[in-house]
Chains A and B, each alone.
Chain A
Amino acid sequence: MRIQNGKISVRQATILFVLSTLSAAIRLFPSLSAKMGMEASWLAPIISVPFLLILCAVLQSCFQKKDVGDLTDVFHLALGKIPGLILTIFYLFWILLIYFLYIRYYSERLLSSIFPDTDLRFFILPMMVLVWFAARGKIESFARFCEISALLFTVLFIMFFLLLIPSVKASNLLPITQTDLMPALLSAYPVLGVWGYITMVFFLGDDIVDKEAFRVQSKKGIAYLAVMTTFMMIFVVGSLGSSVSQRMSLPFFNATKLISIISPLDRFEPLLLASWIVSDFIVIVFFARVVISIAKKIFSALEMKYFATPVALMGYAGSQYLSTDRFELARLSEVFALPGNIILFFFVPLLVLIVGKLRKKI
């Protein structure tokens, strides 16, 4: 399909979603899912797939009318003008909070992995300058960057998986019995909290063309996510063990330290860290663009590139104000952000669709 100027295709939007989950997948899934699911934690992505398929079907149903541009339009149509606006503002604040969270996680990760005792601002400032440039730029350029990054990430991760094969112990992953059913279901909790970001893509709905292709493209995206995330869980939990993995702040990073071929090729951590920073950049820009897009809708603004300035500056101050340390940040993620994501990105769209259908507006 020919893409118009200033628009991206559904395929590119799906890639954006897949990449936005990558940073959290590396950081959160091997530790939090392992804590909840133990040996069965590698089943978490597979268990989460049906829920994501249902969410995609809900989102697809919301966008059946031709005049619906993005999710804020769906809220207005389904709930009415004032309740729709209140819900949109609530989403704006929520996404802003997650945006701060990711900026802070990015800097904390660098602090805990390679640059201990460094000032946080040393990492936040250059990132926010880049985010400011990217959020002001054209969305199609950013989408193309994501496409190239997706390809590189896939190659890199397959390489990591292949090199980790000798470290994987079957005893860390098996046996799975009926007693593991409940822990396996619980281990899907962080996965669902992150995969719900697909709802956020639809706040950029005005910039997406051929939304009718979403059904096909979303299935491809989900299949890719399920395979990659399951393999990541198998290789990290399988090589470290669930009890070790759940106690580590960066299990995937530690798992790559196990890779050993010949001594000059032993150090793969810089490759992982580089890909991690790129994935952080993508997710932060994605959230910034969503925040800008919602703000543009709320204020009925004509041009959104100027809003990148307050959003980038807010990210700089807000990420530092968000928490005092890494532990507070992890606690906020675990007990507040993840359940909030599940409610706002899974249940609320379903509720909005039901109300919209009952009112015969969608």
Chain B
Amino acid sequence: MTQLILFFTVLILLCITDTRSMLHSNLKKDLIPYGILMLATAAMGFWYFSNQYRQSISYLIFQIFKIKG
């Protein structure tokens, strides 16, 4: 849980800094793709750090492609 909180603290702080800088540089158009990428990162971070013992990406790939791990 500590990792999850730390990860999201860093993510939110960097997000605020970047957004302010983008608005200052008149890059409003880039805010949408930046937001999408940040959301994807947050989703991945939440998915992994909420339960670090869940099946790994490798394991899922082995399952999908029926590879003997």
Contacts and interface: CB of A to CB of B under 8 A. Distances in A.
Classify the interface of chain A: helix, strand, loop or mixed. helix
Contacts of A316: 7
B48 A320 contact: yes
A295 interface: yes
Interface residues of A, number: 30
B14 interface: yes
A323 interface: yes
Classify the interface of chain B: helix, strand, loop or mixed. helix
Interface string A209-223: 000000000000000
B33 A299 contact: yes
B34 to A, nearest CB: 5
Interface residues of B, number: 35
Given A303-B27, A313-B14, A331-B69, A323 B57 contact: yes
B37 interface: yes
Interface of B: 7, 10-11, 14-15, 18, 21-22, 25, 27, 29-30, 32-34, 36-38, 40-41, 44-45, 47-49, 52, 56-59, 61-62, 65, 67, 69
Contacts of A303: 22, 25, 27, 30
Contacts, number: 93
Contacts of B7: 313, 316-317
Interface stretch (A5-13, A144-152, A304-312): A304-312
Interface string A309-332: 111011011101111100011011
Which of A298, A311, A317, A320: most chain B Cβ within 10 A? A317
Interface of A: 97, 100, 295-296, 298-299, 301-303, 306-307, 309-311, 313-314, 316-318, 320-324, 328-329, 331-332, 335-336
Contacts of A306: 18, 21-22, 27, 30, 34
